[in-house]
Amino acid sequence: MPFVLDDDQLRAAWQRHAQSTVHEGWRTRYRAHLQAIADAPRADLTTRAWQERLWRDKSITPVGPGDAVNVTALYEDAEIVDRVVDLRSMQLPHDAEQRARAIQGAYNELLGLVATRNVRVKPAAKLLRIFAGMLPHELTCVLSYEPNLAAAELVLGPQRRAHLELHVLMRQRLRNVLGPEQGGLAEEVLRSTFCWWLYENRDALAHGGAEDATHEQSPEPSEAPPLVLWPFGKQWKGNAAIRNFDRHYRDIVQAAVAGVARDELVELIRTDEQYKHLQPQSVRTQVSLVKGLGLLEERDGLLRPSATGEELLEVDQPDVLVRLLIERVFGHAQLLRLLRESGGALAKADLVRGLQSIYPNWTTAFAPTALLAWADALGLVDQEEAGTWTLSDYGRGWAARLPAQLPAPPKEVAIALEEELNELFGPSTVAFPSFAEIHAEMQRDADSSRFVFERALVAALDSGWRLSDKKRFVILSGLSGTGKTAITGCYARAVCGLMAIDLNTHLATVPVSPDWRDPTGLFGYFNALHADPTFHVEPALRLLLRAHADSSRPYFLVLDEMNLARVERYFAPMLSAMETGRELVLHANESPVNAVPPSIPWPRNVYIAGTVNMDESTHPFSDKVLDRAVTLEFWEVDLPAFFARRDAKDRSAEVEELLLEIYQHLRPVRRHFGYRTAAEVLDFVAAMRVAGEPGGTDLAVFGKILPRLRGEHTPELEAALTGVEKLCTARELSRCRAKLQTMLAELRQTGMTRFWA
């Protein structure tokens, strides 16, 4: 239960504070500053010198990183100056509740006005200090969020109030218990600092006594303490740039104020007009990051703002978020240190290279560029006219608080990665070929030329893979046997030939197994049962690791029959990484196992294709998968062109004509067949002829085409089966005719039919 001081306890605490000399020096400076403000004529207060003093003087209290916020543009801004000076004579209601709302409203209004001026970061803390100087009868020196909340809880009990409202109501409770202030500004200062004294001694007061705390000399120490950064293994690796940056994080926390389930929170965010374009998984990832930063916590199965999250909502200054990002997200501290140690301005390319040298897993500029975007959005850096970057005053304040040693990747991992990059792979000297070059190479290639690939489909595959360097993912659906797997292999062979690279190490075709329920079938698994733990690596992961180490060349991963298992389960890490740009997690061990690191940056040089069939044996795709892929459909089959590419000895005009006629009957009901089936019928008939056995055509059509026929009764299906039955009767294919007649009878009697009756 929260501890609240009753009247007697509050009087006893006041007596101890009034007799204490712990903060005497601070109180003297504080009183002198208030006296100077009270004595200054209005005309003097409007001068640049006085405005600078009001914004910069730390006599009331330093405000930590907020002191470094640059507000020089406000010193001679006539509207801002008048509004600040008018605070001294502000007319306030007699009722405490109304006064609290009036002062908080004035602060919100003035801060909003300041935000429209040429300032990078809202000077929220500095403005609080100005209000405390201009309205000493109503406010206190406890300007930090957490101390103010703690002091207010002792004086008022638990409250959900805005920051300055708590000040006003605390001061009113003190008047109610101690009587009105009688000693002028000295008394105002004593009551103001009493609120800080209560915060300092809150633990002792809760246990029945109080001893003057001497560890602090003012509400904020003049020298802010060094930041304590999380170890490398625990930190997030980089931070994707997002629309609205810190505002987006605040909106997520705000949406959870009443307590909300995770999925409901995702939908709440997406109802906002400015975020409706985001995919659910993208928002879900941001919610996870906000929770990981400690801004949300789970209570009673619902996400709610933590105490830190509530502070983020209450305080416009981004201090709390900056601290969390520096402490918990790898790269923010390193960026500040690079700029501080440069002694001047750095070009973006130099910053990217500097961060990549610290963390070689960042093989592209994505993560470093995103970190720079965050630093810019938070006001930590300034861009010079020449396009170079420097630390802002605000950024210098944070950089000064960094510890001497920053978290870094384990040395052996960095060395191994560097050696792999430098020794195993040299930089590519050949650019990725154009579509025209690739298509021409596919036509020249002997292996590719035997397939029939419509130029438009090859162009669609090429465009799908080039559409986004973050998710080069194409799904090839449609009729079985139309060359879905073949087209990806032929495309990869053409690219590798043009770039003079080895196809075998740059292409992996992985058959998906129906029993895949997690990523182990794709990546492999960590085996901790051995004396020395090992990692069993699957072919897909081998390709990903090669792509990671060789980022300048393309790698092709083809997942054959991708939807035989549920894609959302076994492919989840890949879907998340390609969407967010964050790292691809490979296993949960903190260090590499058998040279397999715990995670790698998403390799943007991996071109993924999944071939799928949609029938009773497969699973449908969720929107989560489809949102990340470009889907192509293979339904059209050019049989004449296919027959023309076969060797003359493998052709039969009679069988080809029959196949074309059957195809025409089945095409309208989408039960037609592809190139593979047509080739196998021709090959079967030829083999029967060589063996001197009759009836090859009847057996081939019966065994390769009729099993595909099934469905519920429709006029179109009945017409298709009737047409094929008549054709088989005319061609004296007795086995096929009898089967089709049985299937037609079943269709008419039961309303459905299938070959396997």
pLDDT on residue 371 = 92
Greatest CA separation for the chain = 122
Query: Which residue, among 628, 693, 701, has the nearest Cα to 665 in the 3D structure?
Result: 701
Q: Which of the four pLDDT bands, split at 50, 70 and 90, describes residue 85?
A: very high
Whether the pLDDT of residue 638 is over 90: the answer is no
pLDDT average, residue stretch 178-201? 93
Query: Which residue, among 140, 143, 167, 145, has the nearest Cα to 156 in the 3D structure?
Result: 167
pLDDT on residue 424 = 39
What backbone phi and psi angles, to 5 degrees, belong to 589? -70, 145
Is the separation of the CB atoms in 537 and 524 below 8 Å? yes
Is the separation of the CB atoms in 604 and 364 below 8 Å? yes
Q: Could you give the CA distance from residue 397 to residue 442 in angstroms, rounded to a whole number?
A: 59
Whether the pLDDT of residue 338 is over 80: the answer is yes
Q: Which of the four pLDDT bands, split at 50, 70 and 90, describes residue 216?
A: very low
**Among positive and negative, which fits the CA dihedral 682, 687, 688, 690?**
positive
Whether the pLDDT of residue 421 is over 70: the answer is no
Q: Which of the four pLDDT bands, split at 50, 70 and 90, describes residue 223?
A: low
Whether the pLDDT of residue 695 is over 60: the answer is yes
Q: Specify whether the backbone of 421 is left (phi greater than 0), alpha (psi in -120 to 50) or beta.
A: alpha
pLDDT average, residue stretch 128-143? 95
pLDDT by residue (tens digit) across 358-412? 887 787 788 899 899 999 999 999 988 888 999 988 899 899 999 999 988 865 4
| Residue type for position 166 | L
pLDDT on residue 51 = 95
Length of the chain: 757
What backbone phi and psi angles, to 5 degrees, belong to 229? -90, 145
Q: What is the β-pairing status of strands 710-712 and 329-330?
A: unpaired
Q: What is the pTM of this model?
A: 0.50
Q: Could you give the CA distance from residue 62 to residue 59 in angstroms, rounded to a whole number?
A: 7
- Other CB atoms within 10 A of residue 239 CB: 22
Q: Which of the four pLDDT bands, split at 50, 70 and 90, describes residue 532?
A: low
pLDDT by residue (tens digit) across 7-29? 999 999 999 999 888 888 899 99
Residue with tokens 């301005």: 345
Supply the Cα-derived Rg of the chain in whole angstroms: 36
